Amino acid sequence: MPNNPFLPISRKDMDELGIEQLDFVYVCGDAYVDHPAFGHAIISRVLESLGYTVGIIAQPDWSSTHDFMRLGAPRLAFLVSAGNIDSMVNHYTVNKKRRSDDLYSPGGKSGHRPDRATIVYCNRIREAFPGAQIIIGGIEASLRRFAHYDYWDNKVRRSILLDSRADCLTYGMGEKIIAQLADSLSSGIPAADTDIDGCCYIRKNTDFLTDYIEIPSYEEVRDDKRKYALATKLEFDNQDSVTAKTLVQKHGDRYLVVNPPMVPLEESELDEVYELGYALTYHPIYKPLGGVPAIDEVKFSITHNRGCFGECNFCALTFHQGRAVRSRSVDSVVREAHRLASLPDFKGYIHDIGGPTANFTHASCQKQLAKGTCSARRCLYPTPCKNLSADHAKYLRMLRAVRAIPGIKKVFIRSGIRYDYLLADKSDAFLRELCEHHVSGQLRVAPEHISDRVLALMGKSPIKVYDKFCARFDAASKRAGKEQYAVPYLMSSHPGSTLEDAIELALYTKRHRINPKQVQDFYPTPFTVSTCMYYTGINPLDMTKVYVPRGEEKLMQRALLQYSDPANHNLVIKALKKAHREDLIGFGPDCLVRPRLLKDEKKTTSNTKHRKEIKNELSDFRRKKSVTKGKGRPQPKGGAAKAKRR
């Protein structure tokens, strides 16, 4: 056996391993990184642990079939994924401008995968091996399993299962699904004939089904936005493995059948998955090309949980990992930390022990374990459910155990924490230890907005909850003798956000001396509740109308969040004038921007007069400032303090 910790990527590797034909060939849009933060690594290692042979074709040249034939035809099936990110999100900004970088590719350079990679790869495989079985999965396939609005085409597209011509689509977290599929294929059952949970397939009729819900067809959701919203609601209500029904959506004369979600992995199963024989780095073929940058953030991080009962409407987690939270054992996390600490390039810092939401370690309540997640009640919104089990005890044991490992200097928490869940915990132990041990100067949290109406459409807690958290975080940091700041993630132009809401958000950041360097302009990614709102102007959860900012107003809302950036000056002034908030243009303490002539204004007599007025106002402002000098509120020191919450 060769001394190679990676799975075969060439015929030479297969020969060295004595493999004449692989059981599975995994075709992926990401570079080959053998680390559990990468879906292709997890699925291939799970199959390997079950005794199947797997080869990897990473980022093949899609201009011909040559690369797809590199490992020959697999005995059972091709597995196809676009990678860790939807290929269109990977390639384009929210303004649909082509990105020049790709952290999941060699040297961080884009151009190594096609648009709509899953479809392109499958069609090339069909050309090379017409009779091969193809199973698609990963985030791109998972979130495009139904007929869906596509932001880049600005239209409703069919299920990706039809466009890819694959035999079967797996959605969600795929370890149990792929294990059952592999056994099914081995016993001679075709992938297209599967009836495994977490799978989607095409049928000519529904006569074989007994308990299912037929949602509006592709043609209906394509032509009628209200039907699209109704379909989204039915899809949303059937995402729990305990309560979900099989969903059927007609496409022309065929039926897309979507089985209920697969039950999530339990603690011992998660432990096994994350402790498989990963190389924990990228394949050495990428070293001369500059490596694969995506490994940098996760190499010394530990994933301990899955699922999220936070249910933000703009997040795809509800439709992918689901609301049922599961986490690894403390012992498993400690074993991984020991392994990381033994690596030659480890510097003593664990960058994160987290996941989708770092401080979730168990199901939201005991009822959820037996009866599934509630369809008519959310766990945290608008207020924490009375049945919520807000308890950080297991997470604290995990953090304390890793902190105690020799050679580990610091353990950070960089993935998101839910501050509303933290506040619901009657004990302050987690907040205290968070401030004492796990913050690197700044703690990033995600209030997203300050308008309670917009926050309601996001599925987020009211802003007073964030304010309360910041007060407690500041106090706990002060008691710990640390200068630390809560730095908010903020989002512009979410459905429901008006120009007036964006102005109030800008004023909030000014009052609290928040200077956001990075903000998220709402991105209508496939298959989220918020994307449905964006496309239809309807909230699918209650079928009410929603205002949707578009075009230049979307740009204005983004500019208002960074009103102090000179590049945004003219757009901010234009937004303020459109909202009739000229009172915020000037030199006073509440003003967002100083007056300035727009570049496209002509030099007329009135503008000359305007310039004189600006000059006089500036002189008055400077005179008043010199009189009150030294009486203002002291400014925080240091770069981090510029982003201080209060």
- Check residue 100 and give its pLDDT: 95
DSSP designation for 193:
G
Binning the chain into helix, strand and coil, the percentages to the nearest 5 are 40, 15, 45
Q: Does pLDDT of 368 surpass 90?
A: no
pLDDT tens-place string over residues 535-548? 999 999 999 999 99
pLDDT tens-place string over residues 330-344? 999 999 999 999 999
The CATH code belonging to domain 11-199 is 3.40.50.2300
- Check residue 604 and give its pLDDT: 44
- Check residue 637 and give its pLDDT: 43
pLDDT tens-place string over residues 299-329? 999 999 999 999 999 999 889 999 999 999 9
pLDDT tens-place string over residues 149-169? 999 999 999 999 999 999 999
Q: What mean pLDDT is reported for the chain?
A: 92
11-199 and 443-596 share one CATH topology?
A: no
Mean pLDDT over 236-255 rounds to 96
Integer Cα distance of 336 and 410 in angstroms: 15
Q: Assign 3-class secondary structure to 420-472.
A: HHHHHCCCCHHHHHHHHHCCCCEEEEEEECCCHHHHHHHCCCCHHHHHHHHHH
What distance lies between CA 179 and its chain's CA centroid?
26
- Check residue 168 and give its pLDDT: 98
**Under 8 Å between Cβ of 552 and 580:** no
CATH class belonging to 300-440: alpha beta
**Where are the chain's structural domains?**
11-199, 300-440, 443-596, 603-628
| Tokens at 54, concatenated | 């797997």
Q: What percent of the chain has pLDDT over 90?
A: 87
- Check residue 26 and give its pLDDT: 98
Please report how the helices 267-274 and 175-186 are oriented relative to each other, as an axis angle in degrees rounded to 10.
80
**Under 8 Å between Cβ of 135 and 77:** yes
Integer Cα distance of 140 and 616 in angstroms: 57
Mean pLDDT over 633-645 rounds to 40
CATH of 443-596, one of 2.102.10.10, 3.40.50.150, 3.30.750.200, 3.40.50.620: 3.30.750.200
- Check residue 518 and give its pLDDT: 78
Band the pLDDT of 247: cuts 50, 70, 90. Answer: very high
| Tokens at 148, concatenated | 């869906």
Band the pLDDT of 470: cuts 50, 70, 90. Answer: very high
Mean pLDDT over 384-410 rounds to 96
Integer Cα distance of 582 and 574 in angstroms: 10
Query: pLDDT higher for 449 or 627?
Result: 449
Mean pLDDT over 345-373 rounds to 93
Mean pLDDT over 233-256 rounds to 96
- Check residue 440 and give its pLDDT: 87
- Check residue 376 and give its pLDDT: 78
